[in-house]
């Protein structure tokens, strides 16, 4: 290894010829991470910088600079025959360290997974890579799928500066690698895909523990995003008593047109370019905003688009500004009353399957709605569904009691003419794969639903009907 000082950066290079490509690198660069590529001997290389901030960062830069660690870990992985970009040098500056490594032309695993028809093939390759890490005692500590590159039918590990190679590799280490790598796609994996993955990995028995760990990771992640909902972050901008979601600052300035709804808890006002929901209770206001922020972080469009929150001040109530859904569809109870009887059998089945898939996605992502009435589900004209009343949305793993509550609420707030077989088909598809006692749940839903009247808003106004006996279907 060749050592050379360039612009007060001490470089350690496998080939001194690389030094001619480093003369424009300055130690005063302030980006947290810097990225660039360079060409040497007709090959392309990737140069990444780690800028250290604060006392902890400066100490880390002196004791265990990340550029140096990534170089060393890359060499060790290659010695273990685990694919990673070949490191060819590193640099140490006053507050910054650097890594130079082979440039791998490819896509991150998440992108490949989302755009590949043969997902089982990809998952089996991922499983075998993780099995190799287990065999070699490698704990990555940041093994999300964007840190795995798919290139020419091979997988490459990147971002190695947090990695450890351990003499004793415990089940905790194994679960860490598995849960971090699967967390971004686990909700979207079918039962068949999960089975194929763990079988290829060679330790199917660990599946339940990984499942639990992913759930716990998500709850911690949601809690952290909620805690930051009222601060300025990568997605929010604070200005006085208003917090904007970035991209919506100053674009919602319409004039008042009408009052849509007014009750003891909220008042909903329409403006020419948005809707404002005013909350009389500050706690409900904050709960709604937190839910909206979490959905943005999740990248999910399952609620109306939220624009900003204005906090209460003095006698002024707080409100949330959001997308106006007028002309974009209607609430589920009205939609069913208006359209369902005239649908063909094919159209009914397609609608049931679509709504059940929407519910299934909620449950798999640990999303719960505590007031799951027909009027709180919006049917979009363009296809798809949205949840209304953000303040009633919670993030927690569903269990038997939650499923019974949500389905009972929905059951007694949609028209009585919806056939029992259609209700059952919806229930079975929506709850498939949850691992719950569906026979017992179905009995509880049927029993509790029959004790209540059906009350919903139809196409011509409020309707009150008797419930037809539901249940006693075949639950698998």
Report DSSP letters for 204-239, one per residue: GGGHHHHHHHHHHHHHHHHHHHHHTTTS--SSEEEE
CA-nearest of 313, 292, 298, 285 to 248 is 292
Let me know: does 351 contact 343? Beta carbons within 8 Å: yes
Question: What pLDDT was estimated at residue 474?
Answer: 45
Question: What pLDDT was estimated at residue 94?
Answer: 82
Question: What pLDDT was estimated at residue 281?
Answer: 93
Q: Among 61-70, 92-101, 192-201, whose mean pLDDT is lowest?
A: 61-70
Chain segment 297-327, per-residue pLDDT in tens: 998 999 999 999 999 988 889 999 999 999 9
Which two structure tokens, joined as six digits, stand for 288?
Answer: 């709604």
Question: What pLDDT was estimated at residue 53?
Answer: 73
Let me know: does 3 contact 12? Beta carbons within 8 Å: yes
pTM: 0.80
Question: What pLDDT was estimated at residue 5?
Answer: 93
Chain segment 114-150, per-residue pLDDT in tens: 998 899 999 999 999 999 999 999 999 999 999 999 9
Burial state string for 194-232 with b = 16 or more CB within 10 A and e = fewer than 16 = bebbbebbebeebbeebbebbbeebeeebeebbebbbee
Is pLDDT at 469 greater than 70 in this prediction?
A: no
Please tell me the distance from the alpha carbon of residue 391 to that of residue 284, in angstroms, as a whole number: 6
How many percent of the chain have pLDDT more than 70? 95
Task: Return mean pLDDT, the chain.
Answer: 91
Let me know: does 329 contact 381? Beta carbons within 8 Å: yes
| Residue-level length of the chain | 476
**Rounded to 5 degrees, what are φ and ψ at 428?**
-65, -45
CA angle, residues 75, 78, 81, in degrees to nearest 5: 160
Please tell me the distance from the alpha carbon of residue 292 to that of residue 304, in angstroms, as a whole number: 9
Chain segment 285-299, per-residue pLDDT in tens: 999 999 999 999 998
Q: What is the DSSP string of 242-302?
A: EEEETT-TTT----EEEEEEE-SSEEEEEESS-EEEEESSHHHHHHHHHHHHHHHHHT---
Which two structure tokens, joined as six digits, stand for 262?
Answer: 């007014």
pLDDT, average across residues 44-49: 93
Which two structure tokens, joined as six digits, stand for 352?
Answer: 């049931």
Chain segment 370-419, per-residue pLDDT in tens: 999 999 999 999 999 999 999 999 999 999 999 999 999 999 999 999 99
**Confidence bin at 239 (pLDDT 50/70/90):** confident
Let me know: does 7 contact 26? Beta carbons within 8 Å: yes
């Amino acid at each position: 290894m060749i050592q050379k000082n360039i612009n007060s950066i001490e470089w350690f290079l496998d080939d001194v010829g690389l030094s001619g490509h480093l003369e424009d690198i300055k130690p005063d660069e302030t980006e947290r991470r810097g990225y660039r590529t360079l060409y040497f001997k007709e090959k392309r290389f990737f140069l990444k910088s780690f800028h250290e901030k604060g006392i902890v960062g400066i100490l880390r830069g002196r004791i265990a600079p990340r550029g140096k660690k990534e170089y060393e870990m890359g060499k060790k992985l290659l010695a273990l025959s685990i694919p990673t970009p070949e490191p060819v040098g590193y640099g140490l500056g006053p507050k910054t360290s650097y890594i130079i490594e082979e440039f791998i032309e490819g896509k991150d695993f998440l992108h490949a997974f989302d755009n590949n028809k043969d997902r089982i093939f990809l998952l089996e390759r991922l499983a075998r890579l993780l099995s190799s890490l287990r065999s070699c005692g490698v704990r990555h500590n940041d093994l999300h799928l964007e840190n795995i590159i798919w290139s020419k039918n091979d997988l490459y590990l990147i971002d190695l500066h947090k990695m450890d190679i351990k003499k004793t590799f415990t089940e905790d280490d194994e679960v860490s690698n598995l849960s971090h790598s699967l967390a971004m796609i686990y909700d979207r994996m079918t039962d068949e895909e999960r089975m194929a993955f763990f079988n290829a990995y060679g330790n199917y028995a660990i599946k339940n523990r990984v499942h639990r760990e992913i759930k716990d990771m998500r709850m911690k992640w949601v809690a952290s995003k909620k805690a930051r909902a009222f601060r300025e972050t990568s997605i929010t901008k604070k200005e006085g008593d208003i917090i904007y979601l970035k991209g919506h600052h100053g674009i919602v300035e319409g004039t008042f047109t009408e009052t849509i709804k007014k009750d003891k808890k909220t008042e909903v006002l329409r403006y020419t370019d948005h809707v404002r929901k005013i909350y009389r209770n500050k706690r409900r206001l904050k709960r709604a905003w937190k839910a909206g922020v979490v959905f943005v972080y999740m990248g999910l469009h399952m609620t109306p688009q939220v624009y900003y929150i204005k906090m209460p001040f003095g006698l002024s109530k707080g409100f949330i500004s959001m997308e106006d859904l007028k002309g974009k569809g209607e609430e589920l109870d009205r939609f069913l009353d208006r359209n369902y009887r005239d649908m063909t059998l094919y159209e009914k089945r397609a609608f049931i399957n679509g709504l059940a898939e929407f519910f299934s996605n909620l449950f798999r992502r640990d999303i719960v709605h505590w007031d799951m009435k027909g009027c709180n589900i919006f049917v979009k004209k363009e296809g798809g569904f949205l949840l209304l009343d953000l303040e009633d949305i919670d993030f927690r793993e569903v269990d038997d009691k939650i499923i019974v509550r949500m389905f009972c609420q929905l059951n007694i707030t949609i028209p009585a003419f919806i056939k029992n077989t259609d209700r059952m088909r919806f229930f079975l598809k929506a709850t498939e794969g949850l691992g719950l006692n569906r026979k017992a749940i179905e009995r509880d839903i049927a029993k509790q639903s029959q004790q209540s009247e059906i009350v919903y808003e139809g196409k011509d106004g409020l309707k009150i009907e008797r419930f037809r006996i539901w249940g006693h279907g075949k639950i698998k």
